[in-house]
Amino acid sequence: MALSVLLLPHKTDATTSQAGAKPARKMGTSVSHSLDGQMIIWSGGRTEAEAQTQLKGFERYAAALKDFIDVKPVVVESASVEGLKPGFFVVALGVCDENAVSFPLKLFQAVEPAVYTRQVHYGAKEAADAPECPSPVQIASNGNDDPVYWQLGEPVRSVTGGAKLVALPFTYNWQEQGDFAREYFEVRMQLLLAGANRALLDSQQYPSPSDAARLKSANVSGSSIDWELDYADPPCSPSGDRFVAWIRSFSAVTRAGKIVVAKGAPRRTKSGGCGYAEEKEMVGGRKKPH
């Protein structure tokens, strides 16, 4: 009998990341063939010095998002890459194939809508110099040892006094099958505050109150961004076999160039047994299913 429960997942090293089943190509790695893909571009300028300044600004975003995506930005002279308009230096976040571009592009356009892509081509001799595609961070491994990655939900944005507050809800969810089947899910809200010229003024990350949580809602209310979580604390586990469910609200605003988050009081919604004991009796043949 399969039983869905709330339980703490087995986590991996947060620095482990992959673009998919195959390891991502590393920049500078020998490549014996040409490379075609979508270059994700953060910004650009007429001079290399201008682009280098923009690169340093982006590195603050990369550090704030390191738990969710691994990105290695570089400055590229546009005249050196087929597909780019000559005369510029661009901050390239990576070159991705069509199967890998969706997640990083959605994330970086959520941070800055002006981020764009260009179809580019690298010859066999230049392919090793192409910036590698940003890859999602692996948070866990499922029962089949397949990687589980963070997924980005719908971003929420609020503009106040020239500053832009962005809320990025990251989640994962996977479920085992069979006897004592368990479900694993979590929410983390990443907050970014950007000022003029995309300067990152502040960043904060708010994890779920427990590792068994779902996002109920996230929206803009006046000058604040509000979200609500539905979670279990304690969650179901074979050792406890009982859960308590809660709802809790959060509200983020900006004050003097900083992010301030208010946490509402948790509201208990229900509690009960998880069914582990009954399932154990069934598996052991001591009790027949209904």
pLDDT band at 7 (very low <50, low <70, confident <90, very high): very low
Q: Helix, strand or coil for residue 25?
A: coil
Burial 111-150 (b: 16+ CB within 10 A, else e): bbeebbbbebebeeeebbebbbbbbbbbbbbeeeeebbbb
Residue 1, pLDDT above cutoff 60? no
Residue 8, pLDDT above cutoff 90? no
Residue 21, pLDDT above cutoff 50? no
**pLDDT of res. 141:** 82
**pLDDT of res. 286:** 54
Minimum mean pLDDT among 8-12, 89-93, 265-269: which range? 8-12
pLDDT tens digit sequence for 45-100: 999 999 999 999 999 999 999 999 999 999 999 999 999 999 999 999 999 999 99
Residue 2, pLDDT above cutoff 90? no
CB hemisphere CA count around 264 (13 angstroms): 15
Residue 198, pLDDT above cutoff 50? yes
Does residue 207 have a cis peptide bond before it, meaning omega lies within 30 degrees of 0?
no
- 115/286 Cα distance (integer angstroms): 61
pLDDT tens digit sequence for 118-152: 999 999 999 999 999 999 999 888 877 889 999 99
Residue keyed to tokens 């550090």: 63
Question: What is the rounded average pLDDT of the residues 172-198?
Answer: 84
pLDDT tens digit sequence for 214-262: 999 999 999 999 999 999 998 887 667 789 999 999 999 999 999 999 9
* 33 class by beta-carbon count within 10 Å (0-12 exposed, 13-18 middle, 19+ buried): exposed
pLDDT tens digit sequence for 151-180: 999 999 999 888 999 999 999 988 766 555
Please state, rounded to an integer, the average pLDDT across all residues of the chain. Answer: 86
